[in-house]
Chains A and B, each alone.
Chain A
Amino acid sequence: MAASPAMVEARDLAVTYSLRQGDVEALAGASFSLPRGETCAVIGPSGCGKSTLLYVLAGLLRPTAGEALVDGEPVRPKRLKTAIILQDYGLFPWMTVERNAGLGLRLRGAGAAREKETVGRILGDLGLSEFRRHYPAQLSGGQRQRVAVARALAVEPDLLLMDEPFSSLDALTREGLQETVLDIWRRTGLTVVLVTHGIEEAVFMGRRILVMSARPGRVVHTIDNPAAGRADYRRDPAFHRLCTEVRSLLPAARAGDETGGGAR
């Protein structure tokens, strides 16, 4: 094989949810591609299909039309080197931190010794060692998020999909965790797709930024942002210029899809 294929390739993805109340078109004609070892931020109005897009890339949801390739092959749910961190972290309240973090290894039958060693190391890296025996309910939001990161990393993925992982955290915790993820990315060279609704987060983390349209979502702008991933990027005037540009490119959310707001 001459050139290695793109790590992620989406071709004209469409997803329509069939509900009793009628069909909801979540994605329509979403296309993009991402080289191996890159980070990519996906930003778009609420309800435009960002989570849906990640589900498709993770093989959890079959697209209604189009196709998604990961590492040159059509996605399948059991691709073991794809890890996803869901919007609500997806931790299990009945497992302690170490059981949650080791779940992927356990499901693969990795063996207790290997699980203990890997989980111990990763929890140590993420500053969670002393919370090993705690349950998620006993942790702060930032700690829970780190457990979710630990669980994703424990299976040594080459593709990490994250769905608004830091959105419910305070600014300082969020910036700390962004650093942590970038650190891991620099060390391991994995490919990262990060869904976010934070413009600054997208610009800081995404070496490629995909701006999506309102629902049904497609990729309407692709911005190259090679400076992302530098620790001091936030203080660079270019950073702020790009934030302003992304803001002007973002379409308004479609009425009725806005979540969380106090408007109603």
Chain B
Amino acid sequence: MNRDDRRGLRALLDYGGAFLAVLVVWELAALAVHRPLLPGPVPTLAAFARGMFTAQGLTDGLGADFLVSSYRVIVSLIIAVVLAVPLGLWMGRNERLDRWLAPVVYLLYPVPKVAFLPVILLFLGVYDAPKIFLISLLVFFQILVTTRDAARQVSRQSIYSMLSLGASEGQIYRYAVLPACLPKIFTSLRIGLGTAVAVLFLTETFATSLGLGYFLVDSWSRLAYVDLFAGVVALGVLGFLLYLLVEWLERELTPWQFI
């Protein structure tokens, strides 16, 4: 067994332990409350499995909503990264540009974008576009600001090294600035991921009949508490899987951080 295998096994055991601890606390809480409002883990996970791993659940049950929500979050994150990272790097390296854009960014960053949901719905319709737009917008600002600050901190020495080796402006970005900023970009992506899942829920609670947010609201209105909690588990699983995905990507793209 090499070092990476051992590390993988360790992680699996750690995750397993944490998972078990959550189940135990949950079961105890359910026993204490002893009402249908808070179902225990056994019926909930059974409903979760039924919804996620049966053909029926996947076509128009929990599984279908899970897939739609995953699609929305992943596309939103990709759009946010693809737009925010190059712009952030550019702003961090170009004082003129930054002087013009920074005030705009700071003005827009703290504005609660959810307030725009009605107008977004008006222009982008009721399907995936408005949700993806809103989530991307929020995550975009988080990644933009972090990337810009990281790019600013790239040392003069690194740039001098690149220049002295004959690098073009594009090569400086590719070989020096981007890699220097990647660790911070991943941190902002992890934070953005949390934001994305939280906002996803919000955007799916009205003007739609698909997605985990809708599933939750619908279960609640039917007083189907087991379904409600199965939906919450699905939302948690979605966040967890995305987190693992980002973690894996970070290991692949920034191997020097893990030595």
Interfacial residues, chain A to chain B (CB-CB below 8 A):
55, 58, 60, 77-78, 80, 82-84, 86-88, 90, 92-95, 103-104, 107-108, 135, 137-138, 151, 155
Contact = CB atoms under 8 A, between A and B. Distances in A.
A31 to B, nearest CB: 23
B103 interface: no
Given A90-B160, A92-B158, A107-B165, 15 more contacts: A58-B160, A60-B160, A77-B163, A84-B160, A84-B164, A86-B160, A86-B161, A92-B176, A93-B256, A94-B179, A95-B256, A108-B166, A135-B256, A135-B259, A137-B256
Contact of A82 (B161, B164, B182): B164
Given A92-B175, A107-B171, A80 B166 contact: yes
Contacts of B182: 94
Contacts of A58: 160, 164
In order of increasing CB-CB distance, the 9 nearest A-B pairs are A90-B161, A94-B179, A104-B165, A84-B164, A94-B256, A135-B256, A107-B167, A60-B160, A80-B166
A92 B160 CA distance: 12
Interface residues of B, number: 20
A147 to B, nearest CB: 12
Contacts of B254: 94
A43 to B, nearest CB: 22
Interface in B142-195: 157-158, 160-168, 171, 175-176, 179-180, 182
A83 B166 CA distance: 10
Interface of B: 157-158, 160-168, 171, 175-176, 179-180, 182, 254, 256, 259
Contacts of A80: 166
A159 B167 CA distance: 18
Contacts of A94: 179-180, 182, 254, 256
Given A93-B256, A135-B259, A137-B256, A107 B161 contact: no
B259 A90 contact: no
B157 A86 contact: yes
A108 B165 CA distance: 8
Contacts of A135: 256, 259
A95 B175 CA distance: 9
Contact of B164 (A60, A87, A88, A137): A60
A160 to B, nearest CB: 11
A86 B164 CA distance: 10
